Amino acid sequence: MSAINSIDLVELTHNIKAWGAALGFQQVGISDIDLHQHEAHLQAWLDNDYHGDMHFMKAHGMKRARPDELVPGTLRVISVRMNYLPPDASFAKHLKTSDIGYISRYALGRDYHKVLRKRLKQLGEKITAALSAIEYRDTEYRPFVDSAPVLEHAIAEKAGLGWTGKHSLTLNKEAGSWFFLGELFINLPLPTDSPIEEGCGSCTACMTICPTNAIVAPYKVDARRCISYLTIESGEDIPEELRPLMGNRIYGCDDCQLVCPWNRYADVTTEEDFHPRQVLHGQSLLTLFSWSEETFLANTLGSPIRRIGYEKWQRNIAVAIGNADFSEDNIALLKAQRGMVSEQVDRHIDWAMTQQTAKEHHQKSEQRKQQRLIRVIEKGLVRDA
């Protein structure tokens, strides 16, 4: 069995990037596995309980910052990114319509875990085949896509894919942040890429726009206040003080990305898998809340939304209906759905009904004021005549 030399590794690295592009990745970078500089920040984040109910974060501890502990023998991480912004993104249009269910645009198409993991596996197979041709058969690799204790943003930063923004997402000057990340851990000493210059400067737009003030400091997010965490990760009741701030966001939140200046340069995706499903995109809250569990499972087949389950789905939509403009249809459907799923959903329905009732009373009060004003004006006009 032959040894692999530095010339082979340089050529292989060029090929890896070419193969990655052919597989649909917009960028491929390579980092070493020394992430010790991130350990203090990670530990402080955990010590502050910013991970909320995501107990697996604490259970894995520093393994996130030590790739070779996760996969023994790892020498390099091949980091990739793939755009997901659809051609018709709608951007903030749906956020301005209170009776539309807003779903984070990364989740409107096919589950990115499956798409990227399959391509990363194919990339690993190409590497293995190329090395087998020169009789090197010791290659070992393992793909990850947001599915294991991996500091993916720190790795992407070190691999030159971008820098970590103040909202804790990876930013790229040519692509903004509308892309998925994936990693291929590998036991080859490939040449590494260099980090790029940070580009946030004094901008704090993402911190200012966050509806729940979850970005508690630059580069520091308290997940317990983050709408993405509340609607996706948390299985608890959504704190009442945060519910009015969620608006019509029923799965995830894009606000910090929508306002980021670098996303002016984001390219749309060519991956049809990431194009919005019409059954999810721009649908009314009443339509979505009316789904049975069977309909939910059918309409979210192959979607990342499916993993939150029907109970969280109904919980989230109940909150959004509570935040919507008053409608008798809202009240009627909330009443009809009460007792259909769980006590947790019922608690959120009760809250939503309270909100809708208060809006109804306010609306009627304003109408009475308007009617009184009209009568006063009419009487004055009659006297003047």
**What is the average pLDDT across 237-266?**
96
Residues 79 and 206 in one domain: yes
250 SS3 class = strand
Cα 85 to chain centroid, rounded: 12
What pTM was estimated for this model as a whole?
0.92
**Cβ count near 332 (within 10 Å):** 11
Residues 41 and 82 in one domain: yes
- The catalytic residue among 146, 237, 273, 350 is 146
More confident residue, 141 or 91: 141
Query: What gap in Å lies between CA 30 and CA 9, rounded to an integer?
Result: 12
Residues 205 and 266 in one domain: yes
Residues 148 and 289 in one domain: no
* pLDDT over 70, % of the chain: 97
Among the candidates 279, 306, 340, a domain finishes at 279
Residues 84 and 145 in one domain: yes
Q: Is pLDDT of 89 > 90? A: no
Look up tokens 């030399």; give the residue: 5
Q: State the average pLDDT for the chain.
A: 93
49 is annotated as an active-site residue: no
Residues 307 and 368 in one domain: yes
Q: How many separate domains does the chain show?
A: 2
Least confident of 31-35, 52-56, 71-75: 52-56
Query: What gap in Å lies between CA 333 and CA 338, rounded to an integer?
Result: 9
Binding residues for cob(II)alamin: 64, 146, 164, 181, 228, 253-254
Among the candidates 279, 300, 318, a domain finishes at 279
Residues 76 and 167 in one domain: yes
Residues 166 and 297 in one domain: no
Q: In the prediction, which pLDDT does 1 show?
A: 46
Q: In the prediction, which pLDDT does 333 show?
A: 98
Q: Which domain holds residue 187?
A: 1-279
User: Residue 17: which pLDDT band, with cuts at 50, 70 and 90?
Assistant: very high
Written as one letter, the residue type at 202 is S
Residues 308 and 380 in one domain: yes
Residues 272 and 212 in one domain: yes
Residues 154 and 84 in one domain: yes
Least confident of 106-110, 123-127, 374-378: 374-378
Among the candidates 252, 279, 306, a domain finishes at 279
Binding residues: 64, 146, 164, 181, 200, 203, 206, 210, 226, 228, 253-254, 256, 260
Q: Is pLDDT of 222 > 90? A: yes
* pLDDT over 90, % of the chain: 80
Residues 228 and 307 in one domain: no
